[in-house]
Amino acid sequence: MSEETQDMETPEEKGNDVNGAQSEALRNVTYLSGMYQDWFLDYASYVILERAVPYVNDGLKPVQRRILHAMKQLDDGRYNKVANIIGNTMQYHPHGDASIGDALVQLGQKDLLIDTQGNWGNILTGDSSAAPRYIEARLSKFALEVLFNPKTTNWKQSYDGRNREPITLPVKFPLLLAQGVEGIAVGLASKILPHNFNELIQACIAYLKGEEFELYPDFPTAGMIEVSRYNDGLRGGAVKVRAKIDKVDNKTLKVTQIPYGKTTTSVIDSIIKANDKGKIKIKKIDDNTAADVEILIHLASGISSDKTIDALYAFTDCEISISPNACIIEDDVPKFIGVAEILRRSADNTVALLKLELEIRKRELEEAWHYASLERIFIEKRIYRDIEECETWEGIIETIDEGLKPHIEHLMRAVTRDDIVRLTEIKIKRISKFDIDKAKDYIQSIEDEIAEINVHIANIIPFTIRYFQAIKKKYGKGRERKTEIRSFESIVATKVVVANQKLYINREEGFMGTGLKKDEYVCDCSDIDDIIVIRKDGTYFVSKVSDKSFIGKNILHVAVFRKNDKRTIYNVAYRDGKGGICYVKRFSVTSITRDKEYNLTKGTSGSRILYFTANPNGEAEVIRVVLKPKPRLKKLNFEFDFAELAVKGRASMGNILSRNDVQKITLKHEGVSTLGGRKIWFDPDVLRLNTDQRGDFIGEFLGDDRILVVSRPASFHFTGFDLSNHYSNNISIIEKYQAEKVWTAVFYDADQEYYYLKRFTMEGNGKPVSFIGDNPDNKLLILTEEKYPRFEILYGGKNADRPNETIEGAEFIGVKSFKARGKRLSIYEIDKVKELEPIARENEITATNESEAPADDSKNQSDNN
């Protein structure tokens, strides 16, 4: 058989080879489940580590770090086109220019690391920035000082190996907490809220001193924040953020600050949406926002401005809840740690970086000292002359080495060949002009600096504290807290929502709802209200309002139900069973399970309500009871006053009205409230009135009683005692108004340039008015409610030698209108006016003794008895 015949394959052999190749290929197939398991994990890890979550070392995401590194490479002190910065960043960031541009704009809008020029958008209105070719940027002085140091930076190769980029920047500041961050990765998210620049520095200093510190968010959009549930920025925590809303007048509200993460456009849209749903009633909205937020909300006629403010917080984006989730990357692993721990690690990292910088500087100085000492020996001992006869390079090196040996015992390290080579490079001109004194001074200055660095290294914590203090002094001006930390009162939506629906009832068929427009009208309500329904058999329940719902027949009472309403009192007379005893009771319904049926009678079959009234202020009327005639019953009618009954719980049985059958019960005459005045407290933490005994007790209020509010610097106004009232945070006095109370004020009149004293009563309507004049330079010194105030005048200036003078306020001037200027205290220059303790008047003492005498006599008499 020839070789060609031997090399040829038969069809069977060829088929076997093909099948074998196919089998091998099948063995190498990776199934989809395997791809998902491996590739998806790789993708998730990449997104977490390289895109969405910041590193704890420098507080930056990779794209932010690469942008800042590229800007440092371009930095020459002048602005660069953003398009140019984006292009240079693409050397390090393996993604599109759009993501780099968006990240750069966000960094610029935070106004910390980047100086911007041009239209960079507006975080208040949500307007986007101009195109990258039209705007410019450069690194801020703060960024240049705090973020960069190539000597302490760890480097790695860029994605294509052509360049090197920092693994993390050597940031000597809690940058992550100052800027905040938000990122969504695969199965992981991070949301760290921004904090105040100066407060972060103070917290770092406190931590380094071993003191306690607290950190709360501060937003560039300002607003107000409640931090009771901040939870150190960890998962599960939440903060409430509110817009700042001021009252221009009773028909106009002005939004001057908005919640973080919202824009004026989104806030206005939410207000319009709430108005369309009937939650609030407004006439129109004007957006006058420019450098500062200004949204004017014009209210419809007859709408309470205070309740509208609460409704804006309840139903619009004027109040939002933000849930932080502090997640960072440490050692290439995502971790959840609180903002306090992030700050501690940042402060520790700053200490380590500053110490490393000092050690690097020390090594550089030691090298400089070493060479300066060698140079001095080489020239001063004229070793350079010994090499004139040397014929080879090695001979020169050996000669210099031998010449140095007697003089190098004091050096910090051994002399190397490189040191000797460097000495041979000294030019003859330098040798000829060598000044031994200057050389000694230079070496001494290096030694002094090394000694200073050694002190800093030994006391690295105080050194770091001084570093932080210098940063605050240099860059902290204008970075004061913008967001006001407040406690927010809980707003009950049903109390502030506008009554945007009408409730109707069909008694015959037993239906109730807002859609029964052809049936009997009951009252106005909102679509989130609860309705209480009471039937004639004594059963009652509370149900949510709806278009149409079945409530049963024999309806006695239908009304909007207010939870925890202790002032609405129900007066009831009912018969227990058929022909049973008649009872009367007074009760309130403060809380109830929705759609659960209760009974205000004893529950006996055949019971029936004979008389019923619902009294919104606890009124107790007098009724006339007519009994059914029967033998030996002489008195067939009598009167009963509900005021004789105490208000009890809804489940109480009540008191017996009559054991005889009652024919009818009618109203004799209306009654008055038995609950007395409404006791009101003012909570200074939330600046709201309440009846829950929180804060300072103001008084008991009835009818037309008013509250007097004295505000800084020197104005007053009146309000009602509605719990929905809003008050500003510049209150100096808040109390129940007493028209006869006389106030005494000492103030400086800028127009006359003299000090005046005036006594007056406060009167007027609800508008704030000044009681020391309209000149803004007028200054209130003293405001007192003492009946007979006394003041001491201390003179100053050229009249400093004049003796102090005491003024009796009541004798000095009479009571006049608050509009009067008052009486000038003195024509001499006054340095200070002090209020003295009042002296009790003789007629007051006599009146006090006379009022106490009868009490004492009666007490003695009772004791004798």
- Start-to-end CA span in the chain (Å): 154
Distance CA 519, CA 504 (A): 6
User: What's the CA angle centered on 292, arms 310 and 687, to 5 degrees?
Assistant: 30
Question: Which three-class secondary structure string do you get for 465-504?
Answer: HHHHHHHHHHHCCCCCCCCEECCCCCCCHHHHCCCCEEEE
Q: Residue 4: how many CA atoms within 13 Å on its side-chain side?
A: 0
Residue 218 near residue 481, CB atoms below 8 Å: yes
Q: Which of 122, 177, 141, 118 is nearest to 477 (CA)?
A: 141
- Quickly list DSSP for 377-405: HHHHTTGGGGGTT--SHHHHHHHHHHHHG
Alpha carbon 749 to chain centroid distance? 39
DSSP 3-state percent helix, strand, coil across the chain (nearest 5): 30, 30, 40
Structure tokens at 225: 């924040």
Q: Specify which residues 557 forms β-bridges with.
A: 534
Buried b (16+ CB within 10 A) or exposed e, 585-600: bbbbbeebeeeeebbb
DSSP annotation of 668 reads E
Q: Which residues contact 630 (CB under 8 A, 6 or more apart)?
A: 660, 661
Q: Which of 601, 424, 565, 584 is nearest to 492 (CA)?
A: 565
Q: Which residues contact 714 (CB under 8 A, 6 or more apart)?
A: 745, 747, 770, 771, 772, 778, 780, 783
Q: Which residues contact 704 (CB under 8 A, 6 or more apart)?
A: none
Residue 278 near residue 219, CB atoms below 8 Å: no
Q: Residue 808: how many CA atoms within 13 Å on its side-chain side?
A: 6
CA-based diameter of the chain, in Å? 157
Distance CA 348, CA 330 (A): 14
Residue 80's φ and ψ, nearest 5 degrees, are -120, 145
Residue 656 near residue 673, CB atoms below 8 Å: no
Start-end of H helices in 299-427: 305-315, 339-380, 393-404, 417-424
Pairing of strands 327-330, 707-711: unpaired
Cα 594 to Cα 313, 527, 541: the distances in Å are: 26, 16, 7
Q: Which of 36, 134, 371, 521 is catalytic?
A: 134
Q: Which of 233, 237, 258, 238 is nearest to 313 (CA)?
A: 258
Distance CA 536, CA 552 (A): 11
Catalytic site residue 134? yes
- Quickly list DSSP for 175-233: HHHHH-EEEE-SS-EEEE--B-HHHHHHHHHHHHTT------B--TT--EEE-TT-GGG
- Quickly list DSSP for 88-149: HHTTT--S-HHHHHHHHHHHHHTTSSEEEES----TTT-PPPPPTTT-EEEE-HHHHHHT--
Residue 685 near residue 712, CB atoms below 8 Å: no
Q: How many CB atoms lie within 10 A of CB 321?
A: 11
Residue 570 near residue 556, CB atoms below 8 Å: no
Q: Specify which residues 780 forms β-bridges with.
A: 747
Active site residues: 134
